[in-house]
Amino acid sequence: MKLGLGLYRDRLTKDNFRFAKQAGCTHIVAHLVDYYNGVEGLPSTDKDRNMGIARPNEDVWSYENLVGLKKSMNDEGLVFEAIENFSPADWYDILMDGPTKKAQIEHLKQIVRNVGKAGIPIIGYNFSIAGVWGHVNRAVARGEAVTATFDLQEGPEETPIPNGQIWNMTYDFNAPKGFIPPISSAELWERLEHFLKELIPVAEEAGVRLAAHPDDPPMSTIRGYGRLVNQPHLYQKLLDIVPSHSNALEFCMGTLQEMTEGNVYEAIDQYSKQNAIGYVHFRNVIGKVPSYQEVFVDEGDIDMIKALRIFKKNKFDGVFIPDHTPQMTCKAPWHAGMAYALGYMKAALSIVNNE
C-alpha cells in the first residue's frame, strides 16, 4: 500500500512535488479542474460562494500537456497515479441529459485515450448535479483548528442551482435566467448507466480505470437534486452496471463513514475483495449526516489502523491520499495540515505493510 498526495491545479508545482516527496509520498493525484484556486482547505459553499469557473476544452487535458505534467512529477521522484474529476464545462450535458451530450461523450472518450496514452492509470469522477456542497468552515477540530463541517439545520439554505452552473462551478455566464429543474436519483442513475456504457469500453482499451466518488455529503438529495451513492451498498449497484476492471471506485473513507447505513469496515472489505478500488481518500470524521465534521486523521470515528488491516488482508496495493484535512494555525495552514496527516499515514502504512 502506497502513500500519495492530492494536489489542486494551482498547487501542481515543483515546490509542492518536493513537499510531497519530503513527506514520504511516492504518488500524486492531480486535479486539473481549476477550482479552489488559492483557497486553503475545503472552502465553504452556499448559494453565493462556489468553487470557481469551468472552461471547456482546456489544453491541460491534451496528451502533450499530460506528458509534460507527468514528467515534472517523475523528475521529482513521484508517480502520476490519477487525475481527479472531469471539468464540469466538458460534461454538464452528460449530467443534465442536454443537447450536446453526444459531443461531450466523444470529448471525454478522447480525454480517456489521452490519459491512457500518457500512462496515467486512473481518472476519478463525481457523477453529481449538486456536487460537494453545504460545508461550512469552523474552528472546531482539535485545538480550534479550522475544518469543514456539515449541518443540515445550521448550514446554508438549500437553494436551487442557477442555469449555467453545475457541480458548484459556473460554465456559462450567458445562460438564461432561472434554475435547473429538480432531478431525481432514478434519472441520475439512468444517465450514469449511459455514461458508463459509453466510456468503460474506451477506458478498457486505453488501460484506464474510471473511479467513482461517493456523494459528499451523502444525503438523499442536495438543493432538490437526487444523489447516486449516498449509502455503501449503492457502490455495488454502480459496479454491476458494467462489470469491468475499468469500472472502479474512488473510495472516500470519510464519506463512507458519514453515511447512515452499514459501516466503513464492511464497505472496505466488500469492495477491496473485488479489487474494485482505484485509490483511497484516507480521511476521518466525527458524526454522520445530517451533522458531521472533518477532523484530524487520528481523532475521528474511524479506527484507521483497523481499516488499513482490512485493505491489506484483501491484498489492496493502491494509493492512499489525505484528500483534505483540518488547517493548522501557522503561516502555511494547508501544508502543515497535510504534513501532519502524511506523517501519521506514513507511520501507519509502514506498520501495517510490515505486519
Q: pLDDT digits over 234-293, tens only? A: 999 999 999 999 999 999 999 999 999 999 999 999 999 999 999 999 999 999 999 999
Is-contact 2 319, C-beta < 8 A?
Answer: yes
Report pLDDT for 41: 62
Cβ contacts of residue 340 below 8 Å, gap of 6+?
296, 297, 325, 328
* Burial letters 249-270, b for 16+ CB under 10 A, else e: bbbbbbbbbbbeeeebbebbbb
Q: Does 38 score more than 90 pLDDT?
A: no
Q: What percent of the chain has pLDDT over 70?
A: 97
List % helix, strand, coil for the chain (3-state, nearest 5). Answer: 35, 20, 40
Ranking 99-113, 159-173, 244-258, 306-320 by mean pLDDT, the lowest is 159-173
- Residue 8 banded pLDDT, cuts 50, 70, 90: very high
- What are phi and psi for residue 195, nearest 5 degrees? -60, -50
How much is the average pLDDT of 16-41? 89
Q: What percent of the chain has pLDDT over 90?
A: 93
Q: Can you tell me the distance from the alpha carbon of 20 to that of 7, in angstroms, rounded to the nearest whole number? A: 10
Q: Can you tell me the distance from the alpha carbon of 134 to that of 80, in angstroms, rounded to the nearest whole number? A: 31
Q: Where are the beta strands (DSSP E) in 235-283?
A: 247-252, 277-281
End-to-end CA distance of the chain: 12
Q: Where are the beta strands (DSSP E) in the chain?
A: 2-7, 27-30, 52-53, 79-84, 122-125, 136-141, 145-151, 165-166, 169-170, 209-212, 221-222, 225-226, 247-252, 277-281, 284-288, 291-295, 319-321
Give the Cβ contact number of residue 152 at 10 Å.
13
Report pLDDT for 102: 98
Q: Does 49 score more than 90 pLDDT?
A: no
Is-contact 45 23, C-beta < 8 A?
Answer: no
Q: Which amino acid is at 89?
A: A
